[in-house]
Amino acid sequence: MHVLVIGGGLAGLAAIAALVRKGITVTLLEARPRLGGRAGSFRDATTGQWVDVCQHVAMGCCTQLRHFFRSLGLDRYLTSQSRLVFLTPDGRHSYFRADPWPAPFHLGRALLGAHYLTPGEKLRILRGLTALLRCDPNDDPPLEPWLRAHGQTDRTLNRFWNTVLVSALNESCATVGRKYARKVFVEGFLQQRDGWVVHLPTVPLDRLYGLELQTFFARSGVTVRLQTAVRRLLLDPTTPRIAAVELWDGSHLHADHYILAVPFYRLPDLLPPSLFELFPYFARIRQLEAAPITSLHLWFDRPVLPWPHAVVVGGISQWLFRRVEPMAAEVVVLDGENRPQSHRHDRLTPAPVPEESRPAASDSSYLQVVISASADWLRWGHAELQRRVVEELRHLLPAARSAHLLHARVITEHRATFRPLPGVDRWRPPQTSPLHNLALAGDWTATNWPATMESAVRSGYLAAQAILQRATHCS
């Protein structure tokens, strides 16, 4: 059996990993010159450093994502952060860490120690968390009215609920549904002791999802075709099946089964319009909406963030990450006969940049600022947003007040995630499509998770399972 996977993001990669474990022949088509989809990197021309388009964070509750990393040997490139730092615009900070008590009491002292909440507000939040823990996990009413009915105020919404949810769901309390807000708090913080622990990559995403995975795929017999854009999928006129994939160069590729692992807004361009008229399964996907995420990459002349990362409460910025450029590492590449060859690889070292053009700063002076649900801030434009964020950093971080900004980049992924609006699950399709040999994968498909790396991996595994089940049934 031959399966053709379209899209080299995390969902497509997870589907391939599941298929090759069953001995399936797989071909991957990716339009970009790299794997990883939205989890990608590029080399900054001014600094010569590898820059992740946006910081990707995993949590301890992301069980399938962790399985994906472990099964491919990528978990060694992740580091756990057992302490979070919360900053307020007045420059004060609180540490958030677990105590050796059973869940949900393990984080009680962390909440009580939050300097940015009054004692009365902490009691209100505990009341809201208790109600969230007891409510129906499948009901999905608007969150904010429900929270207000359970004692929440403007300050608790802004200083606690939004602080967590905007970063986790790319949506604020004012518009998000309760189902996925509950999942964040219950599975991330209340049900298990390490569900909240943050895991960060120690290498650029280009390596995590690129070089390492291509080596694994080559050893597993996967054909990877980068810079191979699909124009459309062709239907079999006699049966509800995909007959072939047409590339932009006019050539056709054939397979027994197909997995379409692309963003939801790409489906109308790739699938025949008749499918959206004949099948509600496809028509519903048009109702999904997308939200942006913006990241600012800032190089100062000295280190400004004393911790590896920090969460900002009540500011424009939401997450701050101190980025350190990794050194060259031992990696495995392939020779002309597709055999692994191990050697030193300098892809991760800075590109040659003229000395007079290179910022004279240490690696730890590179700061990444992430702003989720950034639509309102983008109305200012990138230049004004950068100015305001830098000004905010000088209030937040004492070391930034005397530091000089040497270089900056602002990057916005305008359609970064689907919006988890109330009742969004009615628009999310299962991976098994009405076409006998087509499955869908992507964090936007029905996974019972919001738009996260965990959801992407789950969708890939489920899409592979759908293909295998149909193949077994047909045989």
pLDDT at 329 over 80: no
Q: Are 93 and 309 in contact (CB under 8 A)?
A: no
**Percentage of the chain exceeding pLDDT 90:** 75
The predicted structure's pLDDT at residue 338: 36
pLDDT at 321 over 50: yes
The predicted structure's pLDDT at residue 333: 34
Q: Mean pLDDT, the chain, as a whole number?
A: 89
> In Å, what is the CA distance from 346 to each residue of 330, 333, 343, 350, 353?
9, 12, 10, 8, 15
Q: Exposure of 21 by Cβ count < 10 A (0-12 exposed, 13-18 middle, 19+ buried)?
A: exposed
Query: How confident is the model over 312-319, as a mean pLDDT?
Result: 95
Residue 188 has φ and ψ, to the nearest 5°, of: -85, -30
Residue 325: pLDDT band with limits 50, 70, 90? low
The predicted structure's pLDDT at residue 36: 87
Q: Are 16 and 221 in contact (CB under 8 A)?
A: no
Pairing of strands 41-43, 78-81: unpaired
Q: Exposure of 250 by Cβ count < 10 A (0-12 exposed, 13-18 middle, 19+ buried)?
A: exposed
The predicted structure's pLDDT at residue 208: 82
Rounded-to-integer distance, Cα 125 and Cα 151, Å: 8
> In Å, what is the CA distance from 155 to each residue of 119, 310, 312, 456?
13, 20, 15, 33
More confident position, 347 or 36: 36
Q: What is the pLDDT of residues 213-241, one digit of tens each?
A: 888 898 999 999 999 999 999 999 888 99
Q: Are 212 and 330 in contact (CB under 8 A)?
A: no
The predicted structure's pLDDT at residue 337: 36
The predicted structure's pLDDT at residue 43: 86
> In Å, what is the CA distance from 137 to each residue of 233, 444, 456?
37, 19, 21
Show the domains of the chain with their CATH numbers: 2-31+228-287+422-474 (3.50.50.60), 38-97+197-203+290-418 (3.90.660.20), 99-195 (no CATH)
Neighbours of 439 (CB within 10 A): 29
The predicted structure's pLDDT at residue 209: 79
The predicted structure's pLDDT at residue 414: 95
Q: In which residue are the tokens 């986790």 written?
A: 168
pLDDT at 287 over 80: yes
Residue 344: pLDDT band with limits 50, 70, 90? very low
Q: Lowest-pLDDT range, 279-283, 300-304, 362-366?
A: 362-366
Residue 47 has φ and ψ, to the nearest 5°, of: -95, -20
The predicted structure's pLDDT at residue 358: 40
pLDDT at 30 over 50: yes
Instruction: Name 216's Cβ contacts closer than 8 Å, sequence gap at least 6.
Output: 17, 72, 73
E strand spans, 357-472: 366-372, 405-418, 438-440
The predicted structure's pLDDT at residue 202: 87
The predicted structure's pLDDT at residue 386: 97
The predicted structure's pLDDT at residue 474: 65
The predicted structure's pLDDT at residue 419: 98
Query: How confident is the model over 194-213, as a mean pLDDT?
Result: 85
pLDDT at 339 over 70: no
Which residue in 50, 39, 35 sits closest to 346, CA to CA?
Answer: 50
The predicted structure's pLDDT at residue 362: 43
Query: How confident is the model over 115-143, as a mean pLDDT?
Result: 97
Query: In Å, how far from its chain's centre is CA 144?
Result: 25
Hey, which of 50-59, 383-392, 464-473 has the most confident mean pLDDT?
A: 383-392
pLDDT at 61 over 80: yes
Sheet holding 58-59, edge to edge: 58-59, 198-201, 78-81
Query: How confident is the model over 378-397, as a mean pLDDT?
Result: 96
Q: Are 70 and 244 in contact (CB under 8 A)?
A: no
Q: What is the pLDDT of residues 432-458, one digit of tens each?
A: 999 999 999 999 999 999 999 999 999
Rounded-to-integer distance, Cα 304 and Cα 473, Å: 59
